[in-house]
Amino acid sequence: MTVPAQWIDLIDPTPQQIDAELPDDLHETARKILLAPHEHDDEPRPRIETHDTYVLGILLVAVARK
């Protein structure tokens, strides 16, 4: 049986948002990556990796500010 893909879009998620939006079986490494601070020339952004039954993708998006 094929399970449809589900896109979960979180921007700078808090631990509470991660708990509410993502599956209970979220790998601890993925959780740490999602909560890591944004720093220039620093991992974990951008990246794509697999964890058992899901793919974790962290993408960069340009945001215009005035």
pLDDT at residue 14 tops 80: yes
Alpha carbons 44 and 23: distance in angstroms, whole number: 20
Mean pLDDT of the chain: 81
Query: In a 3-state reduction of DSSP, which class is residue 57?
Result: strand
- The DSSP-derived string for 4-51 is PP-----SS--HHHHHHHS-TT--HHHHHHHHSPP-TT-TTSSEEEEE
Higher-confidence position of 23 and 20: 20
pLDDT at residue 19 tops 80: yes
pTM: 0.64
